[in-house]
Structure 1
Amino acid sequence: MLRVYFTSEDLARVRVAPGPDFLWEISNSVQTLQRRDGARVFGEWRQWARPRLSDSCRLLSTLLPPRGYSPDFLTPTSGDRGTLQAAVDTLLSTPRPRLHTDLTQLAASLQLPSWAGSLARGDVDTLRRLGLAVRTYHGEALAPFWRRVHAHIDADRAVRLLSLLDGGTEGLLAGLGPQFRWRSPVLEVAYPVDQQLCLRGRGLILQPSFFCWPTPITLADAELPPVLVYPIHHAADWASTVPNGRPAEGSGPLGPLLGHTRAAILRAARTGCSTVQVARLLDVTHPAISQHVNVLRAAGLVTTVRKAGRSFHVATAEGRALLSTAERAGLE
């Protein structure tokens, strides 16, 4: 179990990350790709991704075993990480002492290839190989789904906002899911090993992650800026694709009834979504989404709340019942 110790100052400095973190999603997905559990959520994606990966991606699977310790430097908590290239540049600028410390710890549990020693010494060519592997892996395994990853995390942030509005920071922490238990001033987290994290006024970044599985994750070095990465809810058909690699539109009985786009909007609205979020998810223009939402709202299937210039859509009880009926039939 992981125990995170808060002070009153820490409670005032809890933040939810603004979106997916490229390097956390890459690291988590490399580990998830090597596992066999979670087939309901990740099985289709694994079958799709594995045969498409280049040989260079094996470098990442060596550094990121499916269980146990993984190096902290692969998921930096500082520096520019707003784009994939910026995140890679930040990764490749890791100080040599950090490379040496993390890879020495990894070597204590795994037999590493000879190039790992070069990486631990900060060898420029080996670092370039690492950067190439990261970019290649993202392009091959994640980029076709990145819009959907982003939209799912947007939806999770909307849920966290509601928890914060209803119960403050303690309500946010208590509402993270069944793997978390808030016992003021300690957050207990399901974790494969016993670990303690004393925040000491530094606050905490909550990082929702699409590929985090099956338990939340934090950094091994408690002296690094505190971050807690947690799994989010996934739509059952998230990995369904069409030949061009973009997510396929929804099908099932709601498609013919409502139209595929409206059915997809209704599913997204079950956990709450903004116009911007669902437009990104479906790759449809904002005005078109607004028109579809107007139809759903007139039918009593969604309700809309406007705050700070943004429209936030939530499925009504009737809308959720319609979705549940379709799912119980095994058709949606």
Structure 2
Amino acid sequence: MLRIHFTTEDLARTRLAARPDPLWEIAASLHRLQSQLGRCAHAAWYRDARDAIATRQLGAEVRKLLFPLFPRATYFPDFLTPAEASHGLDSGLDAILDTPPSRVRHEIGLLDQVRTVPADMYRLADNDIRADLVAVLRKYHNAVIAPYADRMQARLDAECARRGRDLLHGGAEALLGALKPAMRWKAPVLEVEYGGGLDRDLHLGGRGLLLIPSYFCWQKPVSFADPDLPPVLLYPPAPSAPAPPPRPAEASLSALLGRTRAAVLRTVTHGATNSEIARAVSVSTANASHHTTVLRDSGLIASHRHANTVLHTLTPAGAALLRLPDQDRRSTCRTADGPTAPVRGRGPAPGVTSRRDLGR
């Protein structure tokens, strides 16, 4: 069990990542390749990934370099998932290259206490050798992560929309309270199921917490082993319920607006940008912009500029057009609760105080 202790200042600084972290996703995806757990949920990706790795002749590098560095164990080095990766893959890889050699040696040593690593792993303290690792991480990302970028972002968009409503209606405590079943909010502590028999406390101390929804994380959230690093919590977002078949009112809406424009209007229900609409409706960003312009000129949506993006929301007329008769309204609920997977392998070595297994 990981217990994350919040102060009032920490609640004010709790935030949600709006896009996938490429290095965390690399790490989580490597765990999916090494485990049967989560295989069904990622079956299509697993087949595509194996084919891409074979086609690009990455098999040896994945097995001999990446699997030993990212084992399904109670720990893997923190320097492999730097905070800078939130700004993109290039920033994250640059941060790996800039990691002090002493820290690399120390964290490889911690990994060696949990899972025996090849002796030449310590050579990663050398910048030139680490440059080779960075090159492999980039090739792996391009081969198996990048082709799924749109699907990953769409999953995170849906999660952010859900959690944004929690935050809007109940503040940070409501957001934290909705992160079930792997997490339980017992103010002022967030209890996180870690597994492996590990028990630790993380005091945020006013730093806040960055919640990172992850496409490849499975069942159990993950945090850094080093409590002095910027606090993050990687977690699997709630699964989306399958879309119901069109109902008569929706068919009428499609007949009135056209199927694509009706889909755009529905996508704007909880607020969406042009890029989010494009991913949800499977059109180009330029096409999405055209449809939102028509809907705005018709008085069905309103557009608000925020930083470098434009957020579209429903007007009362747009909401009324989408509203279904009471007798047609339905609500469906699907839970992702399942049996907790047994933890395998050795426990943490002395000095290793945190679990870093990405959703065992």
Q: TM-score higher than 0.5 here?
A: yes
> How far, CA to CA, are the matches of 2:120 and 2:181 in structure 1?
41
The 1:317–1:198 alpha-carbon spacing in structure 2 relative to 1, beyond 3 Å, is farther
- Residue 129 (structure 1) aligns with: 132
- Residue 50 (structure 1) aligns with: 50
> How far, CA to CA, are the matches of 1:48 and 1:3 in structure 2?
37
Matched, 1:66 2:72: yes
Matching residue within 190, 194, 204 for 2:193: 190
For the residue of structure 2 that corresponds to 1:220, the secondary structure is coil
Deviation at 1:177, TM superposition (A): 2.5
- What whole-Å deviation, never above 9, does each CA across 1:54-82 have from its counterpart, x for those lacking one? 132231111111232111111112x4642
Q: Which moved more, 1:227-236 or 1:170-179?
A: 227-236
> How far, CA to CA, are the matches of 2:152 and 2:284 in structure 1?
16
- What whole-Å deviation, never above 9, does each CA across 1:46-105 have from its counterpart, x for those lacking one? 12212321132231111111232111111112x464232222111111111221121111
- What whole-Å deviation, never above 9, does each CA across 1:244-273 have from its counterpart, x for those lacking one? xxxxxx9x966xx76986797699679875
- What whole-Å deviation, never above 9, does each CA across 1:178-236 have from its counterpart, x for those lacking one? 22211111011121132211111111111111111121110011111111111113458
Matched, 1:118 2:123: yes
Is the 2:269–2:313 contact (alpha carbons within 8 Å) kept by the matching residues of 1? no
Matching residue within 170, 177, 180 for 1:177: 180
- Residue 355 (structure 2) aligns with: none
- Residue 279 (structure 2) aligns with: 280
- Residue 203 (structure 1) aligns with: 208
Q: Whose radius of gyration is greater, 1 or 2?
A: 2
Matched, 1:158 2:164: no
- Residue 311 (structure 1) aligns with: 312
Over the residues paired in the alignment, what is the CA RMSD in angstroms? 3.4
> How far, CA to CA, are the matches of 2:112 and 2:128 in structure 1?
21
Matched, 1:2 2:2: yes
- What whole-Å deviation, never above 9, does each CA across 1:112-159 have from its counterpart, x for those lacking one? 11320211xx11332022101110110111111112212221221122
The 1:304–1:322 alpha-carbon spacing in structure 2 relative to 1, beyond 3 Å, is farther
- Residue 85 (structure 1) aligns with: 90
- What whole-Å deviation, never above 9, does each CA across 1:25-56 have from its counterpart, x for those lacking one? 11111112211122331122112212321132
The 1:260–1:123 alpha-carbon spacing in structure 2 relative to 1, beyond 3 Å, is farther
Q: Which moved more, 1:103-112 or 1:9-18?
A: 9-18
Is the 2:2–2:202 contact (alpha carbons within 8 Å) kept by the matching residues of 1? yes
- Residue 146 (structure 1) aligns with: 149
The structure whose RCO (Cα within 8 Å, separation 6+) is larger is 2
- Residue 99 (structure 2) aligns with: 94
> How far, CA to CA, are the matches of 1:46 and 1:273 in structure 2?
30
- Residue 26 (structure 1) aligns with: 26
> How far, CA to CA, are the matches of 1:267 and 1:114 in structure 2?
56
- Residue 16 (structure 2) aligns with: 16
TM-score, normalising length from structure 2? 0.72
Question: Partner amino acid for 2:214?
Answer: S
Q: Which moved more, 1:64-73 or 1:308-317?
A: 308-317
The 1:28–1:267 alpha-carbon spacing in structure 2 relative to 1, beyond 3 Å, is farther
The 1:268–1:100 alpha-carbon spacing in structure 2 relative to 1, beyond 3 Å, is farther
Q: Which moved more, 1:226-235 or 1:17-26?
A: 226-235
TM-score, normalising length from structure 1? 0.78
> How far, CA to CA, are the matches of 2:126 and 2:142 in structure 1?
25
> How far, CA to CA, are the matches of 1:94 and 1:136 in structure 2?
20
Is the 1:2–1:188 contact (alpha carbons within 8 Å) kept by the matching residues of 2? yes
The 1:221–1:267 alpha-carbon spacing in structure 2 relative to 1, beyond 3 Å, is farther
